[in-house]
Amino acid sequence: MGAKGWFILKFLMFQGLFISPPQPQADFDFFYLVLQWPGAYCDTKRTCCYPTSGKPAADFGIHGLWPNYKDGSWPSNCDPDSEFDRSQISDLVSRLKRNWPTLACPSNDGFKFWEYEWGKHGTCSESVLSLHAYFDTTLRLKDQANLLQTLTDSGIKPDDGFYDLQKISDAIKDAIGFTPGIQCNKDPERNDQLHQIFLCVDTSGANFIECPILPRGRCPSQVQFAMF
């Protein structure tokens, strides 16, 4: 490159420093926002326990916000030294209790599940989201997704009825703009039921995007939407 070329390159780099604020560089490709139907988590051979605050609302709950790679693999437990400091999320606790309910046994107040998700997944997106931002962002995305409303508006209700998988997927795609990943599990009678919905989110945590890769779902063409 000649002197003129160098000058132009240096000028552009210098401008870049001042014009665009530095963006944090993510060391993963996208997030999965994983939302869970509590009726399906509980309606298995393993059963479940309600949180100490009582039975959660009949709504999708958050399972987690998971950094992922485009090839389908994902990082986990990225920073064992990171402390899960409850005081940093004290302003979010009532929303977490409502929207990110623990269903594990024995019953507990939910911190164990949130700490587990932070340690396994949240510490892998520390390059872009602090502890507080991780939980705040996840809560906001769950509201933005508004899944139950979208499904009931399309006549798909948690009434133990069986619904077309394609219709579930289309209803979500029409509302959010992107195809969801759908996972099923089996109830004790071996019926396949709607268990988790995966929505993809860009690395800033701000926008839903088309999934670079969909998770394996194990759903047949008709699935039950369990009562809760």
CB nearer to ligand AMP: pick between 38 and 180: 38
Check if the beta carbon of residue 181 is closer than 8 Å to that of residue 189. no
Active site residue ranges: 63, 117, 121
Q: Any long-range contacts for 84-92 (C-beta under 8 Å, 24+ apart)?
A: 84/114, 84/115, 84/118, 84/119, 84/131, 85/131, 86/111, 88/131, 88/132, 89/114, 89/131, 89/132, 89/135, 92/132, 92/135, 92/136, 92/139
What are residue 147's phi and psi, to 5 degrees? -65, -45
Task: Please report, as residue ranges, which positions from 86 to 105 form the binding site for ligand AMP (by CB under 6 A).
Answer: 102-104
Comparing C-alpha atoms, which of 137, 29, 101, 184 is closest to residue 198?
184
Question: Site mask, ligand AMP, residues 164-203, x = CB under 6 A?
Answer: ----------------------------------------
SS3 187: coil
Q: Of 28, 41, 60, 163, which one interacts with ligand AMP (CB under 6 A)?
A: 41
The count of chain residues that interact with ligand AMP, using the rule CB under 6 A, is 12
Q: Which amino acid is at 36?
A: Q
CB nearer to ligand AMP: pick between 26 and 35: 35
Q: Of 32, 60, 113, 134, which one interacts with ligand AMP (CB under 6 A)?
A: 113
Kindly indicate which of the ranges 8-16, 60-68, 143-151, 161-169 contains the residues binding ligand AMP, using the contact rule CB under 6 A.
60-68
CB nearer to ligand AMP: pick between 78 and 171: 78
Q: Which positions lie near ligand AMP, rule CB under 6 A?
A: 36, 41, 61, 63-64, 102-104, 113, 117, 120-121
